[in-house]
Amino acid sequence: MTRKEFLRASMRSTLAAAALGPSTLGRTLRAAGGAAGDPAAPDAGRGGGAAGGREPIRLERKAIDLALRHAWTIARNTSTAKRNVLVRVSHGGIEGLGEAAPNVRYGEDWETVLSALALIEPRLGDDPSQFDRVLERIEAALPGNHAAKAAVDIALHDWIGRKTGVPLHRMFGADPAKAPLTSMSIGIDDIPVMQEKVREAEGFKILKIKVGLANDREIIAGIRAVTDRPLYVDANEGWKDRDRAVEMIKWMEGMGVVLLEQPLPAADLDGAKYVRDRVDMPIVADEAAVTAGDVPALRDAFDGVNVKVQKAGGLRMARAMIAAARRFGMKVMLGCMIETSIGITAAAHLSPLVDYADLDGNLLIAADPFRGALVRDGRLVLPRGPGLGLEGAW
C-alpha cells in the first residue's frame, strides 16, 4: 500500500467513525447509577474518600509472573519473563478486573505500579459510576504512572459493564463484526528460530517482524524465505541514521513490507519527517506517541500512531488518542505490551474503531490465566459477556 492509498483509507475511516455518532458510554454510566461529568449526580467525595458513610471502592492488587513461550528480543532488550500487576475493584457486590503491564521504556516496573496503586486507592471514592471524576481525580494527584492508571481504568470499565450487563465494545459504540485482523509479532532471534516462529504463526494473515540491529536485511530475507504473507516491521527506535533508514525502507518496499513502526528515536521528529518525505511506505509512531497530547506534533512526521492502552493510561485515554489521530487524518494501530487476556481483551474491545491491530501479547506468554478475546483465522473475536467478558479466576 502506498502512502496515498493509506491516507485515502484513513479519511474513509474518519468519516465512517463520525457517522456512527456518539458512543453509548454515557448512557451506560447513567444506567450504572450516575452520569460522569453530570453536576447533578452525587459525587464520591471531592477529596476522594467515601462520603456520608457509603461503602468505599475496594482496590486489591497482586504481582504476577508471566513466563514467556520464547525469549523476547527487540532492539533495546531481551526478556524471558514479565512481572505484571493484576487489580480487582469491588463495590456493591460487583467486581471489575484490570491489569498493569509496566514497561521500563516509560519509567515503570511492577514496584512503581504497586506504589502508585497504594496512592490511588484512597482517591477512588465510593461511586464507580462517577467514572470520569474518579479518573480525573487520580490524574490530578498522580502524574505519569500510566500502567498503574490503566489497571484501574480497565477495572472500572469492567465493573460498569458487569453492573449494567453490557460488553465494553457496546459501551464504546464499536461493532464487533468490524474487529480487524491482528498481526503476530516475531521477536529478534537467530534466523532459523525466527523462521520456526513464523511457521508456528500459520493462523495469522499478517506478521510483525522486530528489527533494529545490524542484521536487519538478513532477518527480512530469512522471513521472506518461508512466507509470502504481508509484513509489518518494527524497529523500536533501533535505527539512528536517517539516510540509512531511508535506504533500508526503500529496500523493504521491494520485500513485501507494507508498514513500518518507529524507525528512529522518539525524540528525533525532524529525522522522522526527513524519512517520511523520502519513502512511500506508511510509517507509524509508537514510542513517540504516548498520549493524545503527543499526536499534533506527529502529524507531519508520521502517517499513523500506535495506541496502547498501557502506554496511554487506560481505555479512556486510549479513546482520546484515537480521536486525536482521526482529527489529523492519521491512521491508528492498536498495540499492546506483554499482557494476560485481561489487558489484551480490554484493548480488543476498542479494535473495531481502528485500522490495524497488533494484539498478541497474551499469545507470547506460556500460560495465560484468563480467556477473553480470541483470534480466529487471523481476526480478533470479541467476548459478548458483560464488561470485559473474561473467563478465569483472579
Contact (Cβ atoms closer than 8 angstroms) between residue 245 and residue 253: no
Q: Put residue 190 in one of left, alpha, beta given phi > 0 → left and psi -120 to 50 → alpha.
A: beta
169: enclosing H helix or E strand = helix 168-171
Here the cell at position 180 is 480487524
Catalytically active residues are 210, 234, 261, 286, 308
> At 283, is the secondary structure helix, strand, or coil?
strand
d(CA 216, CA 222): 10
Q: CA-CA distance, 283 to 276, in Å (whole number)?
A: 7
Distances (CA, A) of 42 to 50, 127, 130, 137, 315: 12, 9, 8, 15, 24
What does the block give as the cell for 250? 526503500
- Give yes or no for a contact between 272 and 302, defined as CB atoms under 8 angstroms apart: yes
**Which DSSP string corresponds to 324-393?**
HHHHTT-EEEEE--S--HHHHHHHHTTGGGSSEE---GGGGBS--S-B-SEEETTEEE---SSBT--BS-
